[in-house]
Structure 1
Amino acid sequence: MRVLFVSNNFPTDLRVKIHGIYKRMGLFIDAIKGLASIDFLYYVSPSFDISQANVAKLEQEFAQHWQADITLTLCHRSTRKHQFLRRPNYLPGALNFFEQKPYISLSGKRQVAALEDCLDRKPDAIFAHRLQAMCPLMLAKAKLPPIFFDLDDIEHISLDRQLKQPAPYRKKDRSYHLYLPSLRHAELKAIRKAQKTFICSEQDRTYLAEQLKLPGIVTIPNAITMPMPHPLTNAPTLLFIGSYTYQPNVTAAEFLIEQVWPHVHQVMPESKLIIAGAHPESIRGHQIPPPGVEFTGFVENLDELYQKVRVVCCPILSGSGTRVKLIEAAAYRKPIVSTRIGAEGLDLVDGEAIFLRDHAKTFADACIELLQNDQLCQRLGNAAYTVASKRYDRAQILQQIQHHL
């Protein structure tokens, strides 16, 4: 059996690319490789070296990393843009989904041709990783084998939430709201084209399958390998972790630093806030961190990081899907304070396995309470661990994926 795996998210460094999108991608790759050989088609930056020699080198690295029989094809993304008088022109995208940023980058003739070339190897199925990967599939004229589509985030919900954020956290150009009708229509069309569509939570499945009456919707939760538990630390340390190439993480970090942290630091001047993850330079305040705030950049050893952290924060204000970072924190038995959007779709009950707080002051108060109360920390952390081990263990989720494939 042979599966063609199509994605816009190429892991240029398999050591560093380990945050949410890539963890979920790896989950599906591990499931597929147990059933089939994999042909990868990745769309990459126009500056990326796709020479035959470099692709051969990367193919060898991929085969070794995944311990699988693979072939690798790379295709440059399109650089087309719509401008009018040197300003972005949103009208073409409002009328046609394939003209929207970022979907336009996978919707050109060259990108469709690369897909059709891969079809010459006669794959038995296609796995489309996220909505961008569906663009060339929806435009291809060739006959396609069955498509399995990991939607992950519901993109029209994610965009709508970003547009509704209060300044300074929403998208700066409000003209993006013109994209919403076309984006929603195309997203539903992509789901109908797939034999099965995988989403992160039962909440998303209910919306798509029951409210919108779409076929083939299957819940595949995000998952992690359960780590060894750590004893509760007395260090009054908060943690937020993410990749800051993802705008909702940037917004969350700025909200945490600018609105939540001052309340915590005023009550507990000895406390510390760690902002961990790649590309923190995107965050306001990175150049001159406020007192008590530390930016670590990419952290390779998560065990060491979690050992010195008492409370994990997830102040996400927009986006959709579910947060791998919260499953990870729960697996480490860490008490968690999150916004409701941050914990959306996860089986963590407010007051039992997590604290859900949407306003800066109440978020800060919950963090302070956990920093000062050992018994409460242990109760919340143990309850979160129980949920993670029952619902989000990677070995169980791999079996679910293989069953559906």
Structure 2
Amino acid sequence: MNPPSPDSAVHTAPLPAADPAAPGPAETAAGKPVRDRYFDLLRALALFRVVLYHLTGWAWLPLVFPSMGVMFALAGNLMARSLKRPATQVIKGRVRRLLPPLWLLAVIGVTGMVLQGWRPDADGRPGFWWLHLLFWVFPLSDPPYAEGLPGIPGFVGENWAADLAGPLWYLRAYLWYVLLSPFLLKALRAMPLATVLAPLGLSAAFAFGWLQLPGERIPSALTDFSTFGACWILGMAHREGLLRRLPRYVVPSLAPAVALAGLWYALHNDFRQGNDLDAMPLAQALWSFGTVLLLLHVSPTWTRRPRPLRPWDRLITLLNSRAVTVYLWHNVCILVASTLWDRLWGVDVLWRDYSWLLESPWPVLAVTWVLICACVVAFGWAEDLAAGRRPQLWPDGSRSGRPRRRARR
């Protein structure tokens, strides 16, 4: 189920300062914000971990770094900063930046599904099928997709549409967070503790059966909200300076306890590969909350990355500039890379003498990132157009691109 964030921007766009109360290291004397490189690093790590997890399925990876909680927290932080402007204007800008990359995916994906025989459901109500296609245009709920498509033998594996549509839950959840953010921010300012803890309480209500709702779409949306809503609100609280008002010992004492409670719940619910945090919303919510709280508590404001990280500057900038593209297309890239790699089992000398190499995930990971880079070049321009920037093929910060018009956040 895991990670990126539609709030990513190219290197010319600002990211938030750590403390909105006063100018600091992340704000120039003229009051113009600059990129917070610590947040950039977190987002890049989250993207890499998402790709690795979806390739390997290793259950321990979400424990090492809860990508989705981190990305929702960073998005919530940016949203709180933007809400200094009129809420309608901010929401319109966020939605505008989210939808064009989705539409490009939909044009390619839905066309491919139709060409392979996808048609309205044979239940006598084709109108509902066409109506549900609107979720590919505005993802208030999960869009429909074809099950069991044959793929292209040797190049694209079977049931590719499920991999294509898999990451879209994130866009749906992100969109709802954006729409609710003006109300969440008001609630946070009025009742900070209750607002932060409300999603965790909702997650517990679902986990223990205290709350049961009919259907699939509403429970699915509420489950995602309850799982990562506290992280989004934590990001807003960090931007509002609320976390800095706590005594310094509170977060280091509280956060590990909450995270360990999530781990305890997971271990007592058969935690293993195939049944990890993604299958346990309450465990995911608690572990992500505790980890994000610690990361925001540390939160050094880097206007420039520490020297050991500077060789990675261009890569981190690229991942932040194309976070939506990487997230939307990485599942398909994994499927294609795995399918291509499996063809090598047909080479006698390889399966006989080097089966250990064919079974290793690392070559597939390398091929996956090559394909992701191809998607960045082929489809990443949609992010620039959505943000009102001059399109770039490879926005890694090696050259400055002048925006077509000022990008509003």
Query: What TM-score do the two structures reach when normalised by structure 1?
Result: 0.26
Which structure dedicates a bigger proportion of its chain to strand?
1
Query: What TM-score do the two structures reach when normalised by structure 2?
Result: 0.26
Which structure dedicates a bigger proportion of its chain to helix?
2
